[in-house]
Amino acid sequence: MTREIFWLTLTVILTGVMWIPYVVNRCQIRGLSGAMANPARNDKPHAEWANRMMFAHDNAVENLIIFAPLVLILDSMDYSTKWTVLACAVYFWSRVAHLIVYTFGLPVFRTLAFTVGFFAQAVLVLAIFKIL
């Protein structure tokens, strides 16, 4: 396993478990049967932190669609540098930071964490075209 694939794997695992805390909150508020029912307009709302975490999860999924293929393209090219490894690690930690600051409702830091992840993806694009 390359180091880039390692960071991709951690990112996939992180994205795959993000739903658990906000679904636990949903069960606490709506009860187990309410949480398993189809959504309805009159459902009791999540806690604010859980709503923000759900949005952070949506954003993580949307960005994983970009990050994963970039890593897989580099892997298929058998191309790895210290910059691609660093970009993948930075991307993972930016997603961790994004989740935390979004859940706690820190808007400026949320945007900064997202932007760091975006630039990490840009490094991978540059590496694919061997500009970096």
pLDDT (0 to 100) of residue 132: 78
What is the phi-psi region of residue 44: left when phi exceeds 0, alpha when psi lies from -120 to 50, beta otherwise? beta
Whether residue 66 is predicted with pLDDT greater than 90 in this model: the reply is yes
How far apart are alpha carbons 14 and 111 in whole angstroms? 19
Per-residue model confidence as pLDDT tens digits over 28-62: 999 999 999 998 888 988 999 999 999 999 999 99
Q: List the domains of the chain with CATH numbers.
A: 3-128 (1.20.120.550)
pLDDT (0 to 100) of residue 44: 87
How far apart are alpha carbons 122 and 30 in whole angstroms? 42
What is the phi-psi region of residue 78: left when phi exceeds 0, alpha when psi lies from -120 to 50, beta otherwise? left
Per-residue model confidence as pLDDT tens digits over 77-111: 999 999 999 999 999 999 999 999 999 999 999 99
Closest CA to 99 of 14, 5, 9: 14
pLDDT (0 to 100) of residue 86: 98
